[in-house]
């Protein structure tokens, strides 16, 4: 009986390489795959080297792609072995195959221990030999599990990265800057929802245009053509308006493609990303999931990405009338998606006494894990500049709890 399975090894490597999207399920991304298996579990030397290279790339936030694996391996790269992997179909549910890979690894270790037992018996005392065999059997039994990633509080407190203040981006929207004590922190998924034509995209554009003055921003422009976006901004800001730090992409609607682009740009130093909008983002690979599961997965992947890479991801969402009428501001088709967000902002139109729309908007901060402050207030929306501003003196603004908000005079 052979104690390895080359087909399983190739299939697992193909799953990791296939843009981390095998069947589109979250249990197929490389982070979760690496939580079930390690490079030592592979029998074929080149397979071990490839998976070890993938582990290093993942830790460096580099996409798990053929060209990066090749670069990481250098002279150890075997093109024939890689072609065999690329020709192998990825797995939609890799967990059982991971278990089988580990099982075969354990059996190889048992065989190796059996051959070692004779020399232990002849060279050491019986009790010492038994103790050593037990120790090695314990190691084999535990070999399928990753070493713990937990650290003590004192270890974390000494980490230089943790000592640094959490990076925060000023927003160019005075009343939001005040509420969030200077801007949005990284490591968060921020959802911006609202009634149709209430200004969801305009508020997002106001924020990212301000941030891109000092930091790179990637904007997924799926609701408008890039031509219309550029022309609209030139009309608003003037022909001399320039935004070299604002990068725009209008193709690649699938959540896996979006995640890949975010990883690439995060590696290039970008920390802020905006996506317009939920209804345009697809999850094509999760074919066997329910509508709610497919929708929730979009938010779960983005939230985990923001948390893992310390990014700020702003996602424009759609909500259903029935939900908002009952005071629920969860994204359409997925109430669970709201749990993935750190911040949820909702925009309503304000009508006059005759029922006509005005230039005012009601801004509702319905979720705020950054600092816990919530508010509901009317603000002005200028249809010419497409900017939101507060209609009151900044010094007069208080939170519902009566706590004064620091004044930041930006608008």
pTM of the model: 0.68
| Strands, E assignment, 245-298 | 246-249, 272-276
* Tokens describing residue 86: 């690329």
Flag whether 401 is in a domain.
no
Q: Looking at the structure, tell me whether residues 133 and 170 fall in a common domain.
A: no
Query: In angstroms, rounded to a whole number, what is the distance separating the alpha carbons of residues 186 and 365?
Result: 18
Is residue 308 within 8 A of residue 48, CB to CB? The reply is no
Looking at the chain, the whole-number percentage of residues with pLDDT higher than 70 is 90
Question: Could you read off the pLDDT of 142-153 as tens digits, one per residue?
Answer: 776 555 667 789
Domain boundary among 123, 150, 177: 150
What pLDDT does residue 147 have? Answer: 53
pLDDT band at 396 (very low <50, low <70, confident <90, very high): very low
Q: Strand pairing partners for 53?
A: none
217 SS3 class = strand
Check whether residue 262 and residue 385 sit in a common domain. yes
Domain count, the chain: 2
- Domain check: are 91 and 191 in the same one? no
Q: What is the pLDDT of residue 319?
A: 93
- State the residue range of the domain holding 32: 1-150
pLDDT: which is higher, 256 or 190: 190
| Same domain assignment for residues 23 and 123 | yes
Whichever domain contains 10, its CATH number is 1.10.860.10
* Cβ neighbours of 256 (radius 10 Å): 22
* Residue 357 placed within a domain: yes
For 202-216, the pLDDT digits (tens) are: 999 999 999 999 999
Same structural domain, 128 and 14: yes
- Whether 192 and 142 map to the same domain: the answer is no
CATH code of residue 169: 3.40.50.300
Residue 93 belongs to a domain? yes
Sheet of 375-382, strand order:
246-249, 217-221, 272-276, 312-316, 188-194, 343-351, 357-368, 375-382, 387-389
Residue 291 lies in a domain: yes
Residues 85 and 188 in one domain: no
In a domain? residue 345: yes
Per-residue pLDDT tens over the stretch 142-192 = 776 555 667 789 888 888 888 899 999 999 999 999 999 999 999 999 999
- 313 has a pLDDT exceeding 70: yes
Q: What DSSP assignment string belongs to 60-111?
A: TT----HHHHHHHHGGG--HHHHHHHHTSPPPSS-HHHHHHHHHHHHHHHHH
At 152 the pLDDT is: 87
């Amino acid at each position: 009986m052979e104690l390895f399975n080359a087909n399983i090894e190739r299939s697992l490597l193909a799953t990791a390489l296939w843009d981390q999207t095998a069947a589109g399920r979250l249990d197929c991304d490389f982070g979760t795959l690496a939580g079930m298996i390690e490079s030592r579990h592979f029998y074929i030397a080149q397979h071990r080297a490839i998976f070890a290279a993938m582990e290093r790339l993942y830790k460096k936030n580099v996409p798990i792609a053929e060209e990066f694996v090749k670069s990481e391996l250098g002279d150890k790269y075997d093109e024939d072995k890689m072609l065999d992997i690329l020709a192998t179909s990825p797995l939609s549910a890799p967990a059982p195959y991971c278990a089988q890979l580990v099982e075969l690894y354990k059996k190889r270790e048992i065989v190796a221990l059996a051959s070692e037992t004779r020399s232990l018996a002849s060279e050491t005392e019986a009790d010492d030999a038994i103790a050593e065999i037990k120790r090695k059997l314990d190691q084999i039994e535990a070999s399928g599990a990753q070493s713990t990633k937990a650290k003590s509080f004192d270890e974390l407190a000494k980490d230089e990265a943790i000592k640094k203040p959490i990076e925060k981006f000023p927003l160019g929207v005075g009343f939001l800057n005040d509420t969030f004590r200077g801007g949005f922190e990284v490591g968060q998924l921020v959802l911006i929802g609202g009634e149709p034509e209430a200004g969801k995209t305009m508020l997002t554009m106001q924020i990212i245009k301000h941030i891109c003055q000092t930091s790179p921003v990637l904007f997924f422009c799926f609701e408008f053509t890039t031509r219309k976006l550029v022309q609209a901004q030139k009309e608003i800001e003037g022909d001399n308006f320039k935004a070299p730090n604002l990068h725009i992409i209008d193709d690649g609607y699938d959540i896996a493609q979006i995640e890949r682009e975010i990883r690439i740009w995060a590696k290039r130093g970008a920390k802020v990303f905006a996506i317009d909008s939920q209804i345009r983002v697809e999850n094509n690979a999760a074919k066997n999931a329910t509508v709610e599961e497919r929708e929730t997965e979009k938010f779960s992947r983005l939230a985990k990405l923001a948390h893992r890479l310390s990014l700020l991801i702003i996602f424009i969402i759609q909500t259903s009338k029935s939900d908002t009428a009952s005071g629920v501001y969860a994204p359409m088709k997925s109430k669970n998606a709201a749990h993935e967000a750190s911040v949820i902002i909702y925009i309503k139109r304000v009508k006059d006494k005759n029922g006509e729309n005005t230039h005012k908007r009601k801004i509702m901060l319905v979720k705020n894990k950054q600092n816990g402050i919530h508010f509901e207030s009317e603000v002005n929306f200028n249809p010419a500049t497409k900017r939101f501003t507060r209609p009151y003196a900044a010094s007069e603004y208080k939170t519902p709890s009566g706590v004064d908000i620091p004044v930041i005079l930006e608008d």
